[in-house]
Amino acid sequence: MRFASLRDDTPDGRLLLVSRDLRQALDASEVAPNLLDALHRWEEVAPVLQRLYDALNEGGVAEAKPFDPTRCGAPLPRSPQWCDASAFLTHGRLMERAFGTPPIPHFDTVPVMYQGASDDFLGPNDDVPLPSEADGIDFEGEFGVVVAAVPMAATAAEALGSIRLVIQINDWSLRALGPHEMSTGFGFLQAKPSTSFAPVAVTPDELGDGWRDGRVQLRLNVALNGKRIGEPHAGEMNFDFGQLIAHAARTRRLSAGTIIGSGTVSNVARSAGSACLAERRVIEILDEGSPRTPFMKFGDRVHMQARFDDGSAGPFGVIDQQVVSIGR
Amino acid sequence: MRFASLRDDTPDGRLLLVSRDLRQALDASEVAPNLLDALHRWEEVAPVLQRLYDALNEGGVAEAKPFDPTRCGAPLPRSPQWCDASAFLTHGRLMERAFGTPPIPHFDTVPVMYQGASDDFLGPNDDVPLPSEADGIDFEGEFGVVVAAVPMAATAAEALGSIRLVIQINDWSLRALGPHEMSTGFGFLQAKPSTSFAPVAVTPDELGDGWRDGRVQLRLNVALNGKRIGEPHAGEMNFDFGQLIAHAARTRRLSAGTIIGSGTVSNVARSAGSACLAERRVIEILDEGSPRTPFMKFGDRVHMQARFDDGSAGPFGVIDQQVVSIGR
């Protein structure tokens, strides 16, 4: 199934089912008012939603309307928790060089993860208001999963079975603020403003061969102002999502609707390019002695779209956002 | 005004007004179903709640019932964000020695703050389920504030004006997990299980002289299994709450109901004792060469109660909790 959330006057939006070709949408709010509610009552509502989804794809639903992602917020406009890992080793190693921070201990065997704010997510086409270009405005293309309730100390296998939905994420980052926050040991706070999401959240079966080994087996095509930044492949994730969820649940319960992120998609092969500017800049420093690519300015746009290995478009829709000044 | 949240079958509980002597409670859910809703509609509902509160204190409300904090959850059983500072310099300096971590840069001039989970708070008398005594189970006695909506990049003065409520917090910490998480730079996640709260949240005017300079001017009396651990005074906070809120809002909006914590209350004067075990242990190491006080075992109880300078009880009620095994 594919879901989106139509903006309305509620904090959680209105549940839409989206057809497999992303052209039609059906208001499913009579089954569950919003996606978060559906996740809380999944066993009860999933069979009903599946029947509606099948009918939508067969073209047999008169109430279906054209799907307009510009009217959608994030699939979950807010969520109980948002925990973001850094599970691509290449990204982590490059960021250590970019930030001049010491190597993270046990980085290849123990997941690292920060807790992000989850009360104010941005939709796929929302402007991104930020206070200052001097903060080093950067995007981070990622994938993530949305889970059912997970008990404390769940195993990685149990955790893998808790995955309800797969999503595509832009984890906005302010690079001038990150190194200090890392040096305090307290982690990212100011360096991580509101996170953005592609419009469509999908059940893992929608990915077919694109979901294997607990990983998203798609590329993430990223462009800045229409120019290619990269298309790294997410299959290179060092941990599977079960391991990441279990890491988050080690000493706490996770409420249904919690989001676990992969961290910036990144590949050993430099030919794949990058899913963030900080990586590209450190590669420029390593190769050419200094960075050529600036961080983002107000008015710059980032475009992110997942693609299957055969080049066809992924199921999540597109993130296409402009950075703007808050004007304070 | 003084508020509590009666447990019911909703995630946010049911709004209670609590009398000044903490003996009577009045169901105020006809005005606002829960405290989070009241915070969202504060300008509209506060005058109505104030009239009910005044009548309750005058003994003129027939519907009032005895206040039973054991039936209450946290004042906000969940909140949009929970950002916890470390604003007592003595605590920070002692923890650097306890953890063997490097000094935090600019610790006395720039607040440090971590983002905690805010979807699953514990009430004042709830058992605290944890997976392992080997994790180094510890409490951290703190105060905090609950804010109105705060715009991105608010000044400290604006932020100070956004404070709606003052609360008392036990920020549970797992000391065996903290140093590694600090060393990753990503901050605390596993080291911070669900946070607990005293039952009563109060408007700042309820504190009288106990609210001055943007700080809570009360002691926090802490006991473990009936034995005194300390009663440090919160007036020694290095930043005021306006500065802490502004730090959190530097690159993000804060939704109404966001909680900002002070970090563990701690004093320069050793005679005040401590509000956590890790501090006491490092003092034992410094004074005697090794720690005498163990971390908590399953079955141990912590008791926390604020007190005004004249020795009278603070307005927040009591945290009295037992640590238990999740039994997995």
pLDDT tens for residues A14-64? 999 999 999 999 999 999 999 999 999 999 999 999 999 999 999 989 999
Mean pLDDT of chain A: 97
Q: How many CB atoms lie within 10 A of CB A310?
A: 7
Question: Bridge partners of B319?
Answer: B304
The Cα A159–Cα A150 span in angstroms is 7
Residues 268-307 of chain A with CB under 8 A from chain B are none
pLDDT digits (tens, 9 = 90+) for B281-326: 999 999 999 999 999 999 999 999 999 999 999 999 999 999 999 9
At A256, the pLDDT band (50, 70, 90 cuts) reads very high
Q: Specify if B305 maps to a domain.
A: yes
The Cα A287–Cα B290 span in angstroms is 51
Q: Specify if A77 maps to a domain.
A: no
The Cα B138–Cα B323 span in angstroms is 10
Contacts of B174 in chain A (CB under 8 A): 251
Q: Specify if B302 maps to a domain.
A: yes
Three-point CA angle A298, A303, A304, nearest 5° = 135
Whether B171 shows a pLDDT value over 90: the answer reads yes
* Same domain (yes/no): B321, B175: yes
Task: Kindly determine whether residue A104 and residue B183, on different chains, have CB atoms separated by under 8 Å.
Answer: yes
Nearest CA-CA distance, residue B20 and chain A, Å: 33
Structural domain including A220 reads 82-325
Q: Which of B255, B159, B186, B73 is nearest to A78 (CA)?
A: B255
* Same domain (yes/no): A6, A116: no
pTM recorded for the entire structure: 0.98
* Same domain (yes/no): A222, A281: yes
The token pair that represents A279 in the structure block? 């990586």
Q: Specify if B256 maps to a domain.
A: yes
Whether B328 shows a pLDDT value over 80: the answer reads no
* Same domain (yes/no): A138, A247: yes
Whether A98 shows a pLDDT value over 90: the answer reads no
* Same domain (yes/no): B297, B207: yes
Q: How many CB atoms lie within 10 A of CB B309?
A: 12
The Cα B326–Cα A150 span in angstroms is 14
Contacts of A114 in chain B (CB under 8 A): 115, 186-187, 189
Model pLDDT, residue B99 = 84
Q: Specify if A115 maps to a domain.
A: yes
Burial label, B327 (beta-carbon count in 10 A; 0-12, 13-18, 19+): exposed
> For chain A, percent helix, then strand, then coil, each to nearest 5?
25, 25, 45
* Same domain (yes/no): B43, B14: yes
* Same domain (yes/no): A105, A42: no
Q: What is the identity of the amino acid at B240?
A: D
Q: Specify if B76 maps to a domain.
A: no
Domain count, chain B: 2
Model pLDDT, residue B112 = 97
Can you tell me the mean pLDDT for A139-149?
98
Cβ atoms of B113 and B83 within 8 Å: the answer is: yes
Q: What is the identity of the amino acid at B160?
A: L
* Same domain (yes/no): A43, A89: no
Torsion of CA A285, A291, A297, A299, to 10 degrees: -100
* Same domain (yes/no): A270, A319: yes
Nearest to A117 among B184, B252, B328 (CB): B252
The Cα A146–Cα A162 span in angstroms is 9
A157 touches chain B (CB under 8 A): no
Task: Kindly determine whether residue B120 and residue A80, on different chains, have CB atoms separated by under 8 Å.
Answer: yes
Whether B107 shows a pLDDT value over 90: the answer reads yes
pLDDT digits (tens, 9 = 90+) for B208-251: 999 999 999 999 999 999 999 999 999 999 999 999 999 999 99
Q: Specify if B77 maps to a domain.
A: no
The Cα A69–Cα A123 span in angstroms is 9
Task: Kindly determine whether residue A187 and residue B115, on different chains, have CB atoms separated by under 8 Å.
Answer: yes
Q: Which of A195, A70, A89 is nearest to A138 (CA)?
A: A195
- Chain A and chain B share a number of CB contacts under 8 A equal to 151
Task: Kindly determine whether residue A152 and residue B115, on different chains, have CB atoms separated by under 8 Å.
Answer: no
Task: Kindly determine whether residue B251 and residue A193, on different chains, have CB atoms separated by under 8 Å.
Answer: yes
Q: CATH number of the domain at B131, please.
A: 3.90.850.10
The Cα A198–Cα B174 span in angstroms is 36
Task: Kindly determine whether residue A83 and residue B189, on different chains, have CB atoms separated by under 8 Å.
Answer: yes
* DSSP structural state of residue A86: -
Domain end, chosen from B71, B96, B121, is at B71
Nearest to B174 among A114, A152, A251 (CB): A251
Domain end, chosen from A71, A96, A120, is at A71
* Same domain (yes/no): B187, B277: yes
Q: Specify if B308 maps to a domain.
A: yes
Quick one: how far is CA B227 from the chain centroid?
Answer: 21
Residues 96-135 of chain A with CB under 8 A from chain B are 101, 104-107, 110, 112-120, 129-131, 135
Cβ atoms of A265 and A140 within 8 Å: the answer is: no
Nearest CA-CA distance, residue A131 and chain B, Å: 6
A246 touches chain B (CB under 8 A): no
* DSSP structural state of residue A136: T
Whether B8 shows a pLDDT value over 80: the answer reads yes
* Same domain (yes/no): B23, B172: no
Can you tell me the mean pLDDT for A290-316?
97
Nearest CA-CA distance, residue A250 and chain B, Å: 6
Task: Kindly determine whether residue A115 and residue B189, on different chains, have CB atoms separated by under 8 Å.
Answer: yes
B176 touches chain A (CB under 8 A): no
Domain end, chosen from A71, A92, A113, is at A71
* Same domain (yes/no): A16, A124: no
pLDDT digits (tens, 9 = 90+) for A201-232: 999 999 999 999 999 999 999 999 999 999 99
